[in-house]
Structure formats: C-alpha cells, structure tokens
C-alpha cells in the first residue's frame, strides 16, 4: 500500500492568488533576479513570467545508456502566484521504481525553504518510462527548478492540441466470454478467436506554448496518453518514447527550448506492436512521430498576453477495494485450470513438427498424395487413421498449452491482488488520500491525479469540461497504482490494471465529480 503520507496540509482549497510574494524574496537570495522582484501583477499590467530548464537524471552506474533521462522544470509566475511544473523521465513519483517516497516532500520542502514556492504549487509528473534515474534525483530536480527560476522572462502563452493515433493501442481485450485481459509481456495472450473487441485510444496531444516577448518559443508542455515502455534494441537505459519526442520538439524549436511531457491517462494504453517478436522493438520511431505531431500542433498556436495562473490543490479521500471475494474466485479458477490439464501422448518435440505438417495439408499431411491414392485404390485407410489420431493428439496438446497460458494470467493477477489485499489489511483503514490538482495557465487547463488513470477517465473529464483546452495528467504528485473505471473494476483478476489497483469502483464517480468541480472553479 502507499506508505506515502500526503506531504503537506492541503485539505482546503488554496486560492493561489492570496499567497504572499515569497518568490520575490527568494529570488533576491538567488542573486538579484530583478525581474522577479517587481511588484504585484496588477500594478505592472499583469505580465506572465516563465523560465524553463532541464537537468540530466540518468543513472550512469546502472549499465549502458541509450539516451539520457531528464528532470525538466517550468516555473511560471503571475503577480504573487508562482507555479512549478516538473516532468521527470521515471516510472512513478514514489512507491514503485527508483524514485523514493521521500522525493516529492524533499523537493517541495527545499523549494519552499529556498525559493518560497508553496509546496501545493509544485506539480511533478512522471512520464512512466521504465528508465533508471540517479540516486540524487531530488537534488537534481531542485537544480532544474532553480535554473528555470534564473531564466525567467516575460512570456506570452497559448493552448492548443495536436493529433497522433499511429503509435499506440488500447491494451485491454474484451473477450467473447465477457471478461477482459490485457496485452502484457508478463503473460500470454488468449487465442485470437477468443477476442471480441478492443478499447479506445485518445489521439489528442494537449499543448501549452510559452513564447518570449520576441516571439521565439521558451517552452512547450505536451500531454499525451501512452505507456512509454517500448524500450530500445539491446535494452539499454532510455527515457523511451517520450524522451525521443521531447528531443524532437526541443531540437526543432531551437536552442534553450524545453519540452515538458506530462503523461496523460495512459493506464491501459500500450505502444503499438508491443509484443512484436519479428523486429527489434524501438521507442525512437514512435517518439519521433509523437514529437512531430506535437510540433505540428505547436505551430498552430497563437501566443498572446494572458496572465491567468491558478493552482487548486486538494486532498481527495477515495475508497479502497476489498478483494477477498475475487481472490477466492481466482484461487478456485486456478485449481480448476490445474485440474483440467490432461495427459497427452505428444511432447513439445513431437508436437511442433506435427503442427507444421498438419497446417500444410488438410488432405495429405503425412506423406505425398499418391500414397493416399494408392491406399484408396486398394481399400486401405491406415494413413487416414493415423491422421485422425494425430489431429486428436494435436488438439489435446494445444488445449493444455492454452490452459497453461491462462494459468500464467491468473497467477500474475492473483499475486497482485494478494499484495494489495495485504496492504489494505496492514493499513487498518478503508480509504486512501490522494492529491488532486487543477491548474490554469492562460487558456490551458489541467487536472492531475497520482494514479494510472485509464483512457476512458481522461476522455470523460475532457468531454464534461466547460473549457476548450482541458487536459488530464495521471502519474502526478505521488503514485497509487492503476485507476481503472468502475466498469473495468468488475473485471478484477482479468486485466492487470484491475488487479494492480487499490481502489473500490466508487472511486471513479468521486474523482470525476471532484475534477468537474475543480474545472468549474479554474
């Protein structure tokens, strides 16, 4: 279970505009950044200020590196409100992977102490790539934010979107049985003819563009839903798809431009061809496509003077799921599958050549056709009998194989269910507190959540929002595993998202209601 306590008291709505101008003081400490010491926005005619920077967070002691991982920071200020957006190339903000639970509170406390930035105005999103970050990632993240503060200049802003639908697929497969499984390396897929339909994707790339006063771009924030887990040939450390897309955007927009990727509702979205075994899997072409599609969108955005900057940070209490019944059902399924395995005449060694032979010819699989015709002419049917027996044995062997494959799925899901059930019991309570943030920068509106939201959640929130440019980022300010829809949670035990989840189905309505309320206020 999440050991993380929400690291600051943010139970109440924080209206960012009422905060004191602490950054101005901190900026002086940093060495006289005079732009930040200007008076309140109203007095100056409301200029939005922003700076962006990135710092390498690659762990270079952890084996070969294909491409660097970064912490990218964007600091935005309007009047007395300062907000920090950090995008890290890591799997999660605490709980799993290489970033510890201390990371977020440490970064926030340091930024509060040294720069006067309120903790609840610091948003940190993990791209969810599976790269390995350095052990001093917290210090380096603070460095990135400080470097961004030092580069702050007046900016114009604009929001928009791009479109990309070639690089990803929904990984949940609806089976003809009504159950759902997912496309994982952790287990085999069901037979093709068991699959009835696949789920949706969200092709929208949410965009925030910040330009300097001379019209040159300073930073781009882009939001997209897809697990960046394609890897690179050879398996070296990589920031994966979204590392490549950020590189493409930065290289094309010019020197000193920072492209911050915010992972969206990618909980059930895989890279396309995720289980390809015929070509080396590579994140680079997918990332290049995403980057170019983001750029196409960025170029349509007209940046204007707009000083709106709001952060609403709330703690939401969500119900945890009790999986006792589902675990019992799955254990019974496991026993039943095990007991259904039958003795077979064939072994792998005899099965494989027979499977090839019997797929090449329906009528004459065992030998040339003339031998069959010869037997027919003499009234014999020895080969036909042999074929019938071999076909029965092939079928029996394949039934065992499919049962074994189903067992791999059941056992993986059972392990996850037992892990989260144990943490529920150990926690001694039935709820979990999560941090939900709403942020507005000009026309760009963002809602964040710390779990792996599945794509339908994002599509729902965008559809219900009163704002044109509404985007949703999971994987932000903490990590509480997967957050599938209530309907998907009826399927617990089938797709890994549903088992690697601590929430009860009611969580979805509570979160979507809170998101709608925050959006209304932004």
Q: How far is the CB of 128 from Zn ion (least distance, A)?
A: 6
Q: How far is the CB of 110 from Zn ion (least distance, A)?
A: 28
Closer residue to Zn ion in complex, CB, 307/452: 452
Q: How far apart are CA 206 and CA 161, in angstroms?
A: 5
Closer residue to Zn ion in complex, CB, 284/452: 452
Lay out the site mask for Zn ion across 259-288 (x = CB under 5 A, - = otherwise): ------------------------------
Residue nearest to Zn ion (CB): 452
Residue with tokens 């950044």: 33
> What count of Cα atoms within 13 Å lies in the side-chain half-sphere of residue 133?
32
Are 252 and 290 in contact by the 8 Å Cβ rule? The answer is no
Closer residue to Zn ion in complex, CB, 110/508: 508
How many other C-beta atoms lie within 10 A of the C-beta of residue 397? 20
Q: How far is the CB of 270 from Zn ion (least distance, A)?
A: 10
Closer residue to Zn ion in complex, CB, 51/266: 266
Are 140 and 110 in contact by the 8 Å Cβ rule? The answer is no
Q: How far is the CB of 54 from Zn ion (least distance, A)?
A: 24
Closer residue to Zn ion in complex, CB, 130/514: 130
Q: What is the DSSP string of 456-486?
A: HHHHHHHHH-SSSSEEEE-SBSS--BEE--T
Closer residue to Zn ion in complex, CB, 155/480: 480
Q: How far is the CB of 126 from Zn ion (least distance, A)?
A: 10
Lay out the site mask for Zn ion across 430-459 (x = CB under 5 A, - = otherwise): ----------------------x-------
Q: How far is the CB of 145 from Zn ion (least distance, A)?
A: 26
Closer residue to Zn ion in complex, CB, 372/479: 479
Q: How far is the CB of 461 from Zn ion (least distance, A)?
A: 19
Provide Rg for the chain, Cα atoms: 27
3-state secondary structure of 127: coil
By CB under 5 A, how many residues form the interface with Zn ion? 1
- Which strands make up the sheet holding 180-182, listed edge to edge? 180-182, 172-175, 195-198
Burial class of residue 192, CB neighbours in 10 A (0-12, 13-18, 19+): exposed
Q: How far is the CB of 452 from Zn ion (least distance, A)?
A: 5
Site for Zn ion in 36-55 (CB under 5 A): none
Cα angle 517, 93, 441 (rounded to 5 degrees) comes to 45
Q: How far is the CB of 45 from Zn ion (least distance, A)?
A: 45
Closer residue to Zn ion in complex, CB, 158/484: 484
Q: 519: part of which helix (H) or strand (E)?
A: helix 507-521
Closest CA to 478 of 239, 270, 316: 316
Q: How far apart are CA 509 and CA 135, in angstroms?
A: 38
Alpha helices in 83-214 (DSSP H): 103-115, 137-150
Closer residue to Zn ion in complex, CB, 180/452: 452
Closer residue to Zn ion in complex, CB, 51/271: 271
Closer residue to Zn ion in complex, CB, 250/452: 452
Q: How far is the CB of 23 from Zn ion (least distance, A)?
A: 35
Non-local (6+) Cβ contacts of 23 within 8 A are 36, 77, 82, 115, 116, 117, 149
3-state secondary structure of 381: coil
**Residue 342, φ and ψ in degrees, nearest 5:** -115, 155
- Beta bridge pairs of residue 437: 313, 448
- Rounded to the nearest angstrom, the gap between the alpha carbon of residue 57 and the centroid of all alpha carbons in its chain is 19
Q: How far is the CB of 144 from Zn ion (least distance, A)?
A: 24
Cα angle 380, 385, 390 (rounded to 5 degrees) comes to 150
Which residues contribute to the site for Zn ion (CB under 5 A)?
452
């Amino acid at each position: 279970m999440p050991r993380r306590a929400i690291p600051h008291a943010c139970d109440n709505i924080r209206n960012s505009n009422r905060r004191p101008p602490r950054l101005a003081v901190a900026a002086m400490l940093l060495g006289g950044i005079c732009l930040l010491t200007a008076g309140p926005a109203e007095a100056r005619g409301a200029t939005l200020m922003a700076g962006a920077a990135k710092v390498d967070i690659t762990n270079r002691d952890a084996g070969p590196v294909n491409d660097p991982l970064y912490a990218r920071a964007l600091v935005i200020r309007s009047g007395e409100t300062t907000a920090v957006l950090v995008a890290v190339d890591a799997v999660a903000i605490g709980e799993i992977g290489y970033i510890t639970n201390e990371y977020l509170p440490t970064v926030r406390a340091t930024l509060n102490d040294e720069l006067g930035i309120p903790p609840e105005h610091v948003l940190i999103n993990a791209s969810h790539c599976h790269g390995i970050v350095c052990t001093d990632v917290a210090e380096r993240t603070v460095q990135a934010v400080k470097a961004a503060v030092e580069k702050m200049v007046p900016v114009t802003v604009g929001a928009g979107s791009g479109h990309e639908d070639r690089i990803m697929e929904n990984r949940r497969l609806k089976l003809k049985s009504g159950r759902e499984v997912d496309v994982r390396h952790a287990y085999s897929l069901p037979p093709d003819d068991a699959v009835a339909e696949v789920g949706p994707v969200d092709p929208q790339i949410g965009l925030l563009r910040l330009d300097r006063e001379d019209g040159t771009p300073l930073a781009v924030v882009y939001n997209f839903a897809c697990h960046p887990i394609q890897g690179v040939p050879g398996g070296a450390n990589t920031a994966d798809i979204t590392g490549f897309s950020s590189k493409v955007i930065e290289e094309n927009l010019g020197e000193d431009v920072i492209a911050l990727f915010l992972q969206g509702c990618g909980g059930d979205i895989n890279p396309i061809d995720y289980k390809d075994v015929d070509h080396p899997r590579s994140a680079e072409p997918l990332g290049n496509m995403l980057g170019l599609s983001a750029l196409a969108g960025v170029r349509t955005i007209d940046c204007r003077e707009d000083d709106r900057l709001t952060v609403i940070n709330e703690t939401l209490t969500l119900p945890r799921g009790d999986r006792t019944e589902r675990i019992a059902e799955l254990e019974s399924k496991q026993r039943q599958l095990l007991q259904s395995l039958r003795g077979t005449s064939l072994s792998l060694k005899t099965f494989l050549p027979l499977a090839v032979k019997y797929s090449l010819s329906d009528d004459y699989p065992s030998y040339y056709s003339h031998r069959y015709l010869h037997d027919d002419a003499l009234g014999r049917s020895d080969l036909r009998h042999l074929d019938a027996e071999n076909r029965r044995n092939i079928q029996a062997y394949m039934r065992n194989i499919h049962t074994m494959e189903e067992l791999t799925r059941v056992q993986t899901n059972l392990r996850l269910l037992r892990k989260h059930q144990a943490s529920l019991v150990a926690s001694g309570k039935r709820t979990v507190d999560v941090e939900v943030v709403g942020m507005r920068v000009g026309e760009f509106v963002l809602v964040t959540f710390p779990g792996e939201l599945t794509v339908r959640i994002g599509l729902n929130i965008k559809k219900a929002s009163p704002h044109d440019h509404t985007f949703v980022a999971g994987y932000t300010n903490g990590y509480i595993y997967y957050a599938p829809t209530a309907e998907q949670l009826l399927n617990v035990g089938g797709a890994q998202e549903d088992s690697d989840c601590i929430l009860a189905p009611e969580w979805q309505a509570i979160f979507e209601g809170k998101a709608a309320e925050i959006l209304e206020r932004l």
